[in-house]
């Protein structure tokens, strides 16, 4: 049963990612991106990372995807022009990507990965919170400054010049 | 499923598709979607190694920081794209060739 659910999510993720890359309609691509994010969140659940899965759903789907949709709405005349776009140089791009993919798969299958057997953690949020406040305190604080900078920078950039 | 390679292969698929979007898409927002795919692939690797490679919760923290950076990056990139649209009335990346108009 778990296997069926797992492979369902894998196939769903790959199909949606293909739609993101190939769809002619930009809105369809954004909706397919939503499905991709959901599939990756399901993978996180299979990997015992429930907190990261929740964060993925909240920030990627609730934040970044909405931002992307806003971007599409603001940069296209929705009523007059079809929201479509094309790919350029598909042949060369597909060749390069196929080479990268084959190399990656070869590397994945022929590397002797270090296998460590770990127990399923009882609570993830507790451990993540403790680590954030001890070992990773400086990056945590720097991230807050970076978010503030990005917020102000984005507001200044997007404002119409008067 | 308890095989590391399955997750790594899925991440490789997402990464390749993201690269394909970045290379071939003309619309800047579609390029941004490709970058999000690449970041998701990297995150999937971090979490996979957190479970199978003994990285434990450090992998989770890394993934959290990647998500935070992706949010900041998307906000700034969209601001730049909106600016581009105001200047060129188009957001095709191959048409924005001038630094100044």
Query: What is the 3-state secondary structure of B20-86?
Result: HHHHHECEHHHHHHHHHHHHHHHHHHHHHHHHHCCCCHHHHHHHHHHHHHHHHHHHHHHHHHHHHHH
A158, closest residue in chain B (CA to CA)? B79
How many structural domains comprise chain B?
A: 1
Note whether A26 contacts B: Cβ–Cβ < 8 A.
yes
A12, closest residue in chain B (CA to CA)? B10
Residue B31 lies in a domain: yes
Residue B93 lies in a domain: no
Given this model, what pLDDT does residue A84 score?
58
Output b/e per residue, A8-23; b: 16+ Cβ within 10 A.
ebbeebbebbebbbbb
Residue B21 lies in a domain: yes
CA–centroid distance for A51 within its chain: 15
Distance from CA of B99 to the nearest CA of A (A): 16
B5, closest residue in chain A (CA to CA)? A108
Q: Classify residue B95 by its DSSP letter.
A: T
d(CA B34, CA B20): 8
Query: B50, A49 in Cβ contact below 8 A?
Result: yes
What's the pTM value of the predicted model, to 2 decimals?
Answer: 0.90
Considering only CB atoms, A49 lies closest to which of B20, B50, B53, namely B50
Given this model, what pLDDT does residue A82 score?
55
Residue B94 lies in a domain: no
Chain B environment of A127 (Cβ under 8 Å): 57
Counting as low any pLDDT under 70, the low residues of chain B are 1-2, 100-101
**Residues 6+ away with beta carbon under 8 Å from A72:** A26, A27, A30, A83, B29
Query: A95, A36 in Cβ contact below 8 A?
Result: no
In the three-class reduction of DSSP (H, G, I as helix; E, B as strand; rest coil), residue B17 is classed as helix
Note whether B13 contacts A: Cβ–Cβ < 8 A.
yes
Chains A and B form CB pairs within 8 A to the count of: 217
The closest of A87, A113, A121 to B9, measured between CA atoms, is A113
CATH number at residue B55: 1.10.287.3510
Record: contact B74-A18, CB cut-off 8 A: no
Given this model, what pLDDT does residue A73 score?
85
Chain B environment of A20 (Cβ under 8 Å): 17, 21, 33-34, 37
d(CA B35, CA B38): 5
Given this model, what pLDDT does residue A103 score?
94
**Residues 6+ away with beta carbon under 8 Å from A25:** A83, A84
Chain A environment of B13 (Cβ under 8 Å): 14, 17, 101
Given this model, what pLDDT does residue B96 score?
75
d(CA A16, CA A23): 10
Residue B100 lies in a domain: no
Give the range of the structural domain holding residue B36, as residue numbers without chain letter: 4-88
Residue B74 lies in a domain: yes
Handedness of CA B83, B86, B92, B93 (dihedral sign): negative
Residue B52 lies in a domain: yes
Considering only CB atoms, A124 lies closest to which of B33, B60, B83, namely B60
Q: CA neighbours within 13 Å on the CB side: how many for A107?
A: 10
Given this model, what pLDDT does residue B1 score?
54
Question: Per-residue pLDDT for chain A (162 aa), expressed as one digit of tens each?
Answer: 888 999 999 999 999 999 998 888 888 899 999 999 999 999 999 998 899 999 999 999 988 999 888 888 887 765 545 555 667 778 888 999 999 999 999 999 888 888 777 777 788 889 899 999 999 999 999 999 999 999 999 989 888 765
**Residues 6+ away with beta carbon under 8 Å from A102:** none
The closest of B46, B37, B55 to B7, measured between CA atoms, is B46
The closest of B73, B101, B77 to B89, measured between CA atoms, is B101
Q: Which of B79, B84, B95 to mutate to test the interface with A (most CBs of A within 10 A)?
A: B79
Given this model, what pLDDT does residue A71 score?
86
Residue B80 lies in a domain: yes
Note whether A78 contacts B: Cβ–Cβ < 8 A.
no
The CA radius of gyration of chain A, in Å to the nearest whole number, is 20
């Amino acid at each position: 049963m778990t296997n069926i659910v797992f492979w369902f999510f894998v196939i769903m993720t790959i199909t949606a990612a293909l739609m993101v890359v190939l769809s002619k309609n930009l809105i369809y691509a954004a909706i397919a991106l939503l499905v991709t994010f959901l599939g990756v969140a399901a993978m996180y659940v299979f990997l015992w990372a429930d907190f990261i899965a929740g964060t993925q759903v909240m920030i990627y789907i609730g934040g970044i995807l909405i931002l992307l949709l806003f971007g599409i709405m603001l940069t296209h005349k929705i009523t007059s022009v079809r929201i479509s776009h094309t790919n350029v140089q598909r042949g060369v791009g597909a060749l390069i990507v196929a080479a990268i993919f084959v190399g990656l798969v070869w590397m994945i299958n022929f590397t002797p990965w270090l296998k460590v057997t770990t127990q399923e953690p009882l609570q993830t949020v507790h451990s993540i919170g403790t680590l954030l406040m001890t070992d990773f305190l400086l990056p945590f604080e720097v991230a807050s400054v970076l978010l503030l900078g990005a917020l102000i920078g984005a507001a200044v950039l997007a404002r119409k010049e008067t | 499923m308890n095989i590391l390679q399955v997750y790594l292969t899925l991440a490789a698929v997402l990464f390749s598709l993201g690269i394909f979007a970045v290379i071939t898409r003309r619309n800047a927002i579609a390029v941004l979607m490709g970058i999000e795919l690449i970041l998701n692939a990297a995150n999937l690797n971090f979490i996979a190694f957190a479970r199978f490679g003994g990285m434990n919760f450090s992998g989770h923290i890394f993934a959290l920081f990647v998500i935070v950076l992706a949010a900041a990056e998307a906000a700034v990139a969209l601001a730049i794209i909106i600016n581009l649209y105001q200047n060129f009335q188009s957001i095709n990346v191959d048409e924005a060739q001038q630094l100044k108009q």
